[in-house]
């Protein structure tokens, strides 16, 4: 799984020259209604991040932005779970992969929609039924086709690879037993419970 941090317009951040990305462990992936496990080796705060997921359907190597959509199989919802204290425990050596790759920290679902158009998509994340995130895909610095193109110039994307498109305002720690719903209009609702 490839993870992008590409949203941030609502945060007031300047447009970066290129997206930040890192890899998540395949073992982090869980599906709709599967529990997000509490890590055995970490007892700090764990946050949810509602995101759009892009699923690759055809090998992509150095593809153009115009050709990138033909390499996308479909779209899904995602919860990019993060061990907050691990991320910046040592500011000189950020632990992106470790903080985001515990088993169960990559929830995806409920479906992969091959006809979904993300252009006007809006994402909401609810925790215990209370809305915590609400943002448009337009908040992204880089749209899905541009992300596929840019990444494919650095590494070959294979069928089944998943790109998470980053999140926006509202990311908060979860309490044990919290149910998180990632709602993308026209795409469905991903539901997972922490603990």
- By residue range, what is the domain housing residue 148? 2-193
- pLDDT the model gives residue 12: 64
- pLDDT the model gives residue 138: 79
- pLDDT the model gives residue 87: 85
| Per-residue pLDDT tens over the stretch 38-54 | 999 999 999 999 999 99
Q: Exposed, middle or buried by CB within 10 Å (0-12, 13-18, 19+), for 65?
A: middle
- pLDDT the model gives residue 188: 95
Q: How far apart are CA 14 and CA 185, in angstroms?
A: 27
Return the higher-pLDDT residue of 71 and 14: 71
- pLDDT the model gives residue 70: 98
Q: How far apart are CA 6 and CA 131, in angstroms?
A: 22
- pLDDT the model gives residue 123: 96
Query: How many domains does the structure of the chain reveal?
Result: 1
**137 pLDDT tier (thresholds 50, 70, 90):** confident
> Collapsing DSSP states into helix, strand and coil, what is residue 99?
helix
**13 pLDDT tier (thresholds 50, 70, 90):** low
Look at residues 119, 80, 117, 124 and name the one whose alpha carbon lies nearest to residue 102: 80
pTM to 2 decimal places: 0.91
CATH number at residue 31: 3.90.850.10
**1 pLDDT tier (thresholds 50, 70, 90):** low
The per-residue pLDDT of the chain, averaged, comes to: 91
């Amino acid at each position: 799984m490839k993870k992008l941090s590409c949203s941030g317009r609502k945060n007031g951040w300047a447009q970066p020259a290129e997206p930040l990305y890192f890899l998540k462990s395949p073992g982090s992936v869980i599906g709709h209604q599967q529990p997000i496990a509490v890590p055995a080796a970490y007892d700090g705060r764990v946050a949810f991040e509602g995101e759009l997921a892009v699923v690759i359907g055809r090998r992509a190597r150095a593809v153009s932005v115009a050709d990138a959509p033909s390499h996308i199989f479909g779209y899904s919802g995602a919860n990019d779970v993060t061990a907050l204290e691990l991320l910046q425990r040592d500011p000189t050596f950020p632990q992106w992969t470790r903080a985001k790759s515990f088993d169960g920290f990559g929830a995806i679902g409920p479906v992969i929609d091959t006809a979904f158009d993300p252009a006007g998509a809006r994402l909401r994340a609810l925790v215990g039924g209370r809305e915590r995130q609400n943002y448009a895909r337009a908040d992204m610095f880089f749209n899905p086709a541009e992300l596929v193109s840019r990444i494919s110039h650095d590494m070959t994307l294979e069928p089944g690879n998943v790109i998470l498109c980053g999140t926006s305002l509202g990311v908060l720690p979860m309490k044990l037993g919290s149910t998180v719903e990632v709602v993308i209009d026209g795409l469905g609702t991903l539901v997972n419970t922490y603990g």
